[in-house]
Chain A
Amino acid sequence: MRALFLCYRGNPFCGGQGIYLYNLTKELAKLGVVIDVIVGPPYPDPLDEWATVYKLENLNMWAIKTKHFPYEKLIKLYKPWHFVDYCLTRFHIFPEMETFSMKAFFLLRKLLKTNHYDIIHDVQCLGWGLLPMKGYGIPIVSTVHHPLTKDREADFPVDNTVWEMACTILFYPLTMQRIVINRLDRVITSSKEGINALNEAFHLSPEKVSVVYNGMDVEFFRNNGSPRQENTLLFVGNTEDHKKGLRYLFDAMTMLPEHVTLTIVDDGPPKRLTAWGWITERGLEKRVTFTGKVDLSTLLHLYSTSTILVMASLYEGFGLPAAEAMACNTPVVVTNAGALPEVVGDCGVIVPPRDAVALKEGILKLINNKALREELGKKGRKRVEDNFAWPVAAKNTLAVYHDVIQSYRSRI
């Protein structure tokens, strides 16, 4: 079997898509699938050992004023698709998915002269370009961890003016995604909750959705034996993502004892200021630290030595940090938003979202009970090993491919 992956952003450190692409293609290749990848920047870690990679350029112009463009980007603006990108971004539209999918469509036309693909696997793009690709007679599946409506709902309450709201609405290409997703052969999502979310957002029939749990590197994410530090909370994620519910976590911090500290694995000031603004408003400057982007071994160390991992999310399509922390025997306090309860099960403390008091109580429950922390840590490790390993995810994805191809062939 030969599969073509499309991924408009292959960032290996955040966003999830690059990590998903890297690990899934690696495991699928081990199962005998020949992998080709069309990917946009930031590009993933090298996949060349098991895949043929075709890189598509994107200038990532959104939210950058023309006068602040570096010269190297400016001189590329005369290429047609870059100019389209440029024009649309000036109106606060985020066109990366549209233009990536169209560029991929034209590249695919060239590739098909020499290659034959059994299936096309889109990773969360759902761009217009997928529709003409259907004309090539290849079944198309797409992985959608969560619909972008969830991001928009999280952004809306923090927009202060009509202009900001209008920009939020223009940013998310929901109309395109609603039209495209209903015309694909199958959609893979990473939780049972995702089926409802996709139906609610795009009126996607549950029969068109398959659930394949995300994978993670359970061999790498294993407690490294470093001594655990008491009263240290850990948050891993994008601080600019309003779905993460960081405001509620900071509110909970104001109610927790002074010696409880929070480490955030993401950039802080001066690069990212949203979270820092909330921290200064609440006088938490001395209790919250930012690590910036960290390598995997540092992340593993942080998971292994922190007392608790906290996720105050308003929605999660999966919640990879929770699974990674559990793999390191670290207890978690999470909200029952999105797929988090499915991922954590009975191996952590689950509280309602948007409830700082409940979050504070959940954290205190674990901070004050070391035996409970150790028990949940052990249970968490076992749950991750049983459910969330990449080989399991790849095997289940391959089963979806076979099913899609079979039903596609029976239709034609």
Chain B
Amino acid sequence: MPRAKIYGYIAVIVATLMGLVFVYYAFIHYDMYSSVHFSSIDTGAYWAVVLPIALVTLFVLATCFWVGYTILTIKVAPPMPEIVEKKDNSKFKAFLLCLVTIALAVWFVYGLYHHSYLAIAIPAACITLVILGMIFWVGIAIITTRSTLKKDK
């Protein structure tokens, strides 16, 4: 078997295992509704863990807000009539996007302030699972794609 395919299998297995372990320990094994929360952790340690996750989360939310805001405010030359007809509610959707991202950001910061477990666990899960998902998907693609390279390469 070509070495790349072996790496593909390793990527799929590792990403799957890590994803399952993460979900199990973050959301199933851990009693999220128990009284044990991050409030018992030392403040320095809490922020050391939380800050990177908070920055990534706020960056993603800010990007979504910026996309909505740009659609709302961009000025382009008047398009041709048939294009105007197609764009009936894009500004409204962009407004909703801005509203939702602001609400999520406020909710997230409120959760951080109160040392909420879910406020950290959900973004951490999103970030981790997206990256693991990409590694998994690359692995699957490598396993299932036929090489067009010559055998001696």
A169 adjacent to B134 (CB under 8 Å):
no
**Cβ-defined partner of B77 (8 Å) among A72, A161, A314:** A314
Whose C-beta in chain B lies nearest to the C-beta of A157? Answer: B79
Tell me the bound Cα distance from A247 to B141 in angstroms.
39
Q: Is there a chain B Cβ closer than 8 Å to A66's Cβ?
A: yes
User: A169 touching B138 by the CB < 8 A rule?
Assistant: no
Is A255 among interface residues, defined by CB-CB distance under 8 A? no
Residue numbers in A under 8 Å from B142 (CB-CB)? 71, 74-75
Q: Is the CB of A70 within 8 A of B145?
A: yes
CB distance from A242 to the nearest CB of B (A): 11
A74 to B144, CA, bound (A): 11
| Closest Cβ–Cβ distance, residue A262 to chain B (whole Å) | 19
CB of B151 within 8 Å of the partner chain:
no
Measured in the bound complex, the distance between the Cα atoms of B63 and A170 in whole Å is 9
B151 to chain A, nearest CB (A): 13
B141 in complex: contacting residue of A74, A78, A87, A160, CB < 8 Å:
A74
B40 within 8 A of A: no
Q: How far is the CB of B121 from the nearest CB of chain A, in Å?
A: 22
Mark contacts of B61-97 with chain A using CB atoms, 8 A cut-off: 1 yes-contact digit, 0 otherwise: 0010011001100101111100100110010011001
Interfacial chain B residues near A2, Cβ < 8 Å: none
Name the interface residues of B128-146: CB closer than 8 Å to any CB of A: 131, 134, 137-138, 141-142, 144-146
Tell whether A166 is near chain B: CB-to-CB under 8 Å. yes
On chain A, which size bracket covers the interface?
20 to 34
Are B76 and A156 within 8 A (Cβ)? Answer: yes
Q: Does B148 contact A (CB under 8 A)?
A: yes
Complex Cα spacing A63 to B84, Å:
26
Inter-subunit contact B71/A169 (CB<8 Å): yes
> Whole-angstrom distance from the CB of B137 to the nearest CB of chain A?
5
C-alpha gap A158/B93 in the complex (Å): 17
CA distance A74 to B134 in the complex (A): 12
**A residues 161-203 with Cβ under 8 Å of B?**
161-162, 165-166, 169-170
Of the listed residues A70, A90, A156, A314, the one surrounded by the most CB atoms of chain B closer than 10 A to its CB is: A156
- The residue among B11, B74, B78, B137 with the most chain A CB atoms within 10 A of its own CB is B74
A354 within 8 A of B: yes
A71-B7 contact, Cβ under 8 Å, with A169-B67, A169-B71: no
Contact between B90 and A165 (Cβ–Cβ < 8 Å)? yes
Is B71 a contact of A86 with CB atoms below 8 Å?
no
Q: Say if the beta carbon of B34 comes within 8 Å of chain A.
A: no
When distances are taken between beta carbons in the complex, the residues of chain B under 8 Å from A113 are none
Smallest Cβ distance from B139 to chain A, in angstroms?
A: 9
Cβ-closest chain B residue relative to A314: B77
Known interface pairs A75-B4, A157-B77, A160-B86; A169-B137 also in contact (CB < 8 Å): no
**Chain A positions within 8 Å of B86 at CB level:** 160
- Residue from A70, A71, A169, A247 in contact with B70 in the complex, judged by beta carbons closer than 8 Å: A169
Please tell me if the beta carbons of B134 and A71 are within 8 angstroms of each other in the complex: no
Q: Which of A55-111 contact B (CB under 8 A)?
A: 66-67, 69-72, 74-75, 77-78, 83, 86-87, 90
Q: Is the CB of B77 within 8 A of A153?
A: yes
Asked whether A162 and B145 contact (CB < 8 A) given A75-B4, A153-B77, the answer is no
Residues of B within 8 A of A314 (CB): 77
Distance in angstroms from A184 CB to nearest chain B CB is: 24
Which residues of A118-173 have CB atoms within 8 Å of chain B's CB atoms?
153, 156-158, 160-162, 165-166, 169-170
In the complex, chain B residues whose CB is within 8 Å of the CB of A169: 66-67, 70-71
Check B77 against A67 for contact (C-beta < 8 Å).
Answer: no
17 chain-A/chain-B pairs, Cβ below 8 angstroms:
A67-B145, A70-B145, A71-B147, A71-B149, A72-B149, A74-B4, A75-B4, A75-B7, A77-B138, A86-B134, A153-B74, A157-B80, A158-B83, A169-B67, A170-B63, A170-B67, A314-B77
7 extra interface residue pairs, beta carbon distance < 8 Å, beyond A75-B7, A160-B86, A162-B93: A69-B141, A72-B147, A72-B149, A87-B131, A157-B80, A158-B79, A160-B87
Binding site for A on B (CB under 8 A): 4, 7, 11, 63, 66-67, 70-71, 74, 76-80, 83, 86-87, 90, 93-94, 97, 131, 134, 137-138, 141-142, 144-149
